[in-house]
């Protein structure tokens, strides 16, 4: 619970033995009901940069990456 917190994580979130464990267990059980891009529901656009680094397609530039991410976001309904 140290360091910078992710977007959407409350600064008031603290670790309390047993209580926090149970809260996190419930959160994980229900994590597939959160909006795309939160919890454990990932957006395909979140992986675009990683795939680019792995396959390094010829002729790609920042503009094409921006267009790809926009297309992936449009298909998932996330903005």
Percentage above 70 pLDDT, the chain: 90
pLDDT tens-digit map of 23-59: 889 888 887 777 777 767 777 888 888 888 899 889 8
Helix (H, G, I), strand (E, B) or coil at 30: coil
Find the Cα–Cα–Cα–Cα dihedral 73, 74, 76, 79, rounded to 10°: 60
Tokens of 45: 């656009």
CB contact set of 20 (below 8 Å; sequence gap of 6+)? 14
pTM beyond cutoff 0.85 = no
Which backbone phi and psi does 76 adopt, to 5 degrees? -100, -10
Give the angle 9-40-76 at the CA atoms, nearest 5°. Answer: 105
């Amino acid at each position: 619970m140290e360091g910078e917190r992710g977007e959407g994580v409350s600064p008031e979130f603290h670790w309390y033995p047993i209580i926090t464990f149970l809260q996190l267990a419930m959160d994980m059980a229900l994590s597939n009901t959160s909006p795309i891009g939160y919890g454990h529901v990932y957006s395909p656009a979140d992986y675009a940069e990683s795939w680019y680094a792995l396959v390094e397609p010829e002729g790609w530039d920042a503009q094409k990456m921006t267009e790809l991410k926009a297309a992936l976001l449009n298909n998932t309904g996330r903005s």
